Amino acid sequence: MDIITHSMTVDGVELDCELEFVPGQTATETDPAFRAEAYLITAKVKGVDIRELLDPRVVIAIEDAAALATHE
């Protein structure tokens, strides 16, 4: 697992996020495939962490966007 950063604008607010990143893998003969995942640790606005104030749907959107951007 790695810690990654991802910036994203949500409702006109720029968020600087830190996420835990788990790379995906393709299937092998012994292991199944799984997609990359990212888990939001902090979401900062001008240095203030607002992670706990975010709607769960926004958290999921940030995690999905970060995993996709890092995976590419």
pTM of the model: 0.85
Kindly report, residue by residue over 1-27, the tens digit of the pLDDT.
799 999 999 999 999 999 999 998 888
Judge contact between 43 and 54, C-beta under 8 A. yes
Instruction: Tokens for 34, please give them.
Output: 């799984």
Helix (H, G, I), strand (E, B) or coil at 72: coil
Domain parsing of the chain, residue ranges: 2-24+34-71
DSSP state of 51: G
